Amino acid sequence: MSAESVKAAANASGSNVLFEVKGLCKDFGNGLVLDHIDTTINQGEVVVIIGPSGSGKSTFLRSLNLLEEPTGGHIFFEGTDITDKHLNIDTYRQKIGMVFQHFNLFPHMTILRNMTLGPIKLLGIPEEEAVALAKGYLERVGLLDKADAYPSQLSGGQKQRIAIVRALCMNPEVMLFDEPTSALDPEMVGEVLEVMRDLAKGGMTMLIVTHEMGFAKEVAGRVLFIDEGKILEDDTPEEIFQNPKSERLQSFLAKIL
Amino acid sequence: MDGFVASFQNNFIDDSRYLYLVQGLGMTLLITFFAAILGILLGFLVAIIRSTYEKTGKMKFANSICVLYLTVIRGTPAMVQLLIMYYVIFASANIGKPLVAILSFGINSGAYVAEIVRSGIMSIDSGQLEAGRSLGFSYAQTMWYVIMPQAFKNVLPALANEFIVLLKETSICGYIGLMDLTRGGDIIRSRTYEAFMPLIAVALIYLVLVVFLSSLVRKLERRLRASER
């Protein structure tokens, strides 16, 4: 049975848990940044993570693809414990797309090369096929004319759209967004959110750390409020924004809305 | 003017003395070329070990060996290293003076190349490494495809400068009895008892070489920059 059909069978039986996080801790050496986090992310969910700066929300997101190595607890991805030291992290990371606040495009490569390097070198996709795939995505985000440009020739919004489709070219099962619009000029936020909205509509599993509350209300199926390394509230956006239970969330929302 | 021509004749033409300069130049270029290759290999190796340790904490033991190497080599004069290499380390081994010089200058240059390349690697934003790793590239692949090409471009001028310094530094290999360009000129001086002509000729040859190499580097830099615009 191929990996695909195993997955299909698992889905059919109702088990569509993608991430299972158990007792996740992270300590940079001066106290817990993540304090025993437990949560489950299902396939197809769009989860927005909010919280004050320094609350650990970015660290939590980055732990999910081990850019931050957990100091305690376990993360299961499709049933496999990825905190297991013997696991090949690289093959696992190929399944997880990541979008950064500062885009992190490779400045010495053209846009097309940025997008095809991973598929060609890691997935073994023939070059023509990878190029066709990349161009398809470029067309979808309206940047086909930038295929041969270098990142320095693009605006912030364009860079972030490229960063998103670069991750998509690896055909990931989930996309992680770490404050994708925080470094953008206000007039460029919309174009990036538009791409993310489309992605959510297409059924992609997404975890998004953001300060765009309007976007969270509109797109999220679930909102996590993290403060001082703990998930204090985990609910639908309606409940979170209209009926915040904890005092911390109330004061957080009062400050930003 | 007649005096100049006579002096030129005496120093370079009589007894085919220009051959001292030609052969000396050949030796200087040979030693510089192979020492530079050895320096690059050593330097990149040390730089990668050092920056891997700094970024990930791995290769602790290899890193401390590298630190020792850098400290000793950069803390002692190149000429003392050359003399030790010839009179102590290879005193009984008969491996030939040019090889001793190549090893000595290569090991010396490697230490400077290492620090140049390491600073280049460390100057690349950590987001680049994270982006490569998050796509699924291993640490080594990310270094190869993402970090090193950018680091190399950043340090190219400093690296080229190091090899220009190396070219000039090989002028001390007369001390182990090698006839390089400097020693060639000095031999002419000892034959003709004229210092001006042979030494100025030697200086001019070094100068032409350095100016030529510098212009090559500038051309390369321009091309590298053009590929990003």
Residue-wise pLDDT tens digits, A105-137: 999 999 999 999 999 999 999 999 999 999 999
Q: Taking residues B202-226, what's their average pLDDT?
A: 88
- Asked if B134 lies within 8 A of A122 by C-beta distance, the reply is no
Res. A8: pLDDT tops 60: no
Dump pLDDT digits (tens) for A19-59.
Answer: 999 999 999 888 899 999 999 999 999 999 999 988 999 99
Confidence of residue A15 (pLDDT cuts 50, 70, 90): low
* pLDDT score at B16: 85
Per-residue confidence band for B221, with pLDDT thresholds at 50, 70 and 90: confident
Q: Cβ separation of A107 and B228 shorter than 8 Å?
A: yes
Is a pLDDT exceeding 60 seen at residue A195? yes
Query: What local confidence, expressed as pLDDT, does residue A191 receive?
Result: 94
Is the overall model pTM greater than 0.95, yes or no? no
Cβ of B138 and A91 within 8 Å? no
Between B125, B127, B145, which is nearest A117 by CB? B145
pLDDT > 80? residue A5 = no
- ∠ CA A166-A172-A178, nearest 5°, is 65
- Cβ-nearest to B134 among A91, A98, A102: A98
Please list, in sequence order, all residues whose beta carbon lies within 8 angstroms of the beta carbon of residue B55, skipping any fewer than 6 positions away. Answer: B126, B129
pLDDT at B225: 74
Min distance B223 CA to chain A CA atoms (Å): 13
Closest CA of chain B from A33, distance in Å = 20
The pLDDT score that the predictor gives to residue B80 is 96
Mean pLDDT over the full length of chain A = 91
CA dihedral B26, B32, B37, B42 (to 10 degrees): 150
Q: How confident is the model at residue B84 (pLDDT cuts 50, 70, 90)?
A: very high
Catalogue the E-assigned strands of A11-91: 17-27, 32-42, 46-50, 72-77, 80-81
Helix (H, G, I), strand (E, B) or coil at A72: strand
Nearest CA in chain A to B225: A108
Quote ipTM for the complex. 0.88
Tell me whether B57 touches chain A (CB under 8 Å): no
Q: d(Cα A208, Cα A221) in Å, to the nearest integer? A: 11
**Nearest CA-CA distance, residue A196 and chain B, Å:** 18
Tell me whether A121 touches chain B (CB under 8 Å).
yes
| Chain A contact for B138 (CB, 8 A cutoff) | yes
Q: Please tell me the distance in Å from B113's CA to the nearest CA on chain A.
A: 22
Alpha-carbon distance A116 to A170, whole Å? Answer: 9
